[in-house]
Structure 1
């Protein structure tokens, strides 16, 4: 399970994004950015997402 605190990349975002894969977190983070009105994801934003993403042990709980 991978996790990204959205506020660490996109100011004003209150979500913690979780997915089984790194790619899944990135996809969800981009969708969240679009929902926040961010239309262009810069290379530095992508780098920030990758750097701030953490791997968490599986807890049995499913996240949205």
Structure 2
């Protein structure tokens, strides 16, 4: 299970995204960013999404 706390990464997002794969967390985070008004994902934002995604212990 992987997790991303959007707070401080995606402007205006206080959601915690969890999914079975890192790719699914990233997909959901991109969708959340668009819903939060982020029109273009910058390389910096993409790096932050990757860096802040963590694998939870079993």
TM-score (normalizing by structure 1): 0.83
Task: Note the 1:45-56 alignment, pairs <5 A.
Answer: 45-56=45-56
Alignment RMSD (CA, Å): 1.0
Whichever of the two has the greater Rg, that structure is 1
Could you tell me which runs of 5 or more consecutive residues in structure 2 were left unpaired when the two chains were aligned: none
How high is the TM-score relative to the length of structure 2? 0.91
Corresponding pairs, count: 58
Distance 1:57 1:6 in 2: 19
- The structural deviation recorded for 1:12 is 1.6
Stretches of structure 1 lacking an aligned partner (at least 5 in a row): 59-64
